[in-house]
Amino acid sequence: MPQLNDDKIDKHTDDLEVESDEKIQGKKIELDEEQLPSRAMAIHEHIRQDGEKELERDAMALLWSAIAAGLSMGASLLAKGIFHVHLADLPGGYLLENLGYTFGFIIVIMARQQLFTENTVTAVLPVMHNPTPGNLGLLIRLWSVVLLGNIIGTAIAAWAFEYMPIFNEETRDAFIGIGMKVMENTPGEMFANAIISGWIIATMVWMFPAAGAAKIVVIILMTWLIALADTTHIVVGAVEIFYLIFNGTISWYDFIWPFALPTLAGNICGGTFIFALLSHAQIRNDMSTKQKEKTRLQQQAKEEE
């Protein structure tokens, strides 16, 4: 009986395995820059390895991590609202207020919680490397679970901010003002702004392997830029819009349209269809060059024999 359970576990693990050339050959992804054609390819392969690990994770583990990330993203609204109350009238107050936007991202990324927009580049690279139906299914599974968890977490955070006796009226009014500023965008503006934020998040993820100890600085600078540009983000924005819903300022329908659907589409386009595709395109050329060089060396070795 224990052997039967083990077999079931093994079968379940195999069902969640990413299909790649390395797994077929029983090898690991090459991460040594000296063995690869370019530094860009080394970064690409590092992120692809992380993406494979994420795609193979258990669904419940992903869901709980994503819920935690949604809750953590409440820190962005919290910090930005408090900063607005105390810094709005100071010179440069706008710059400092938007620094609060970075808090949620710092918590989520440093704590290795699941954030949907981060997965629009990390988890996509294994699929682009080997675009099989199985890998595509794993990607859809990951995105669905993580997005659901993020939305649940942001809703809980927004509910707590509205109904728990934590904040004074000035801070609550600041939360409403932040959310209403997002809702001033038309669906087209939501989509266009979300493309920019998706691109910036993907760029940030691409920088992580080379950032080292400066990773937190990269997070602060890149997410601060998102806030300063007044772009839209599906997870942070969800906290802001849910707060308006629980406050009675807007309806549930307003969350779906004009906010969620255009913003989600824009984040995916910016992080996946633009950044990830372009980044992967240059690597495909490097991989082709590497294969040609390998073939040339093999041919040369045969001639010498």
- With respect to residue 27, please indicate whether it lies within any of the assigned structural domains: no
Identify whether 108 is part of a domain.
yes
Number of structural domains, the chain?
1
CATH number reported for the structural domain that contains residue 97 in this entry? 1.20.1080.10
Residues in CB range of 218: below 8 A, 6 or more apart: 204, 207, 208, 211
Q: Can you give the pLDDT at residue 122?
A: 87
* Ramachandran category for residue 168: left, alpha or beta (phi over 0 → left; psi -120 to 50 → alpha): beta
Q: Longest Cα pair distance anywhere in the chain, in angstroms? A: 84
19 within some domain: no
Cis peptide before 209 (omega within 30 of 0): no
pLDDT for the residue numbered 194: 96
Query: Is residue 13 domain-resident?
Result: no
Quick one: pLDDT at residue 295? 52
Model confidence over 276-298: pLDDT tens digits? Answer: 777 767 776 666 555 555 555 55
What are the C-alpha distances in Å from 293 to residues 22, 33, 39, 65, 214? 19, 16, 17, 43, 35
Residue 194 located in a structural domain: yes
Predicted local distance difference test score (pLDDT) of residue 251: 94
262 cis-preceded (ω within 30 degrees of 0)? no
pLDDT of the residue at 17: 83
Point out the residues of the chain with pLDDT beneath 50.
1-14
Choose among 260, 262, 261, 242: nearest CA to 250: 242
Which residues, at least 6 apart from 290, have a Cβ–Cβ distance to it below 8 Å?
A: 36, 37
The three-point CA angle 191-194-196 to 5° equals 120
Contact 252, 245 (CB under 8 A): yes
Q: What is the extent of the structural domain holding 239?
A: 37-291
pLDDT in tens, 83-129: 999 987 888 888 999 999 999 999 999 999 999 998 888 888 888 88
Written as six digits, the tokens of 284 are 């495909």
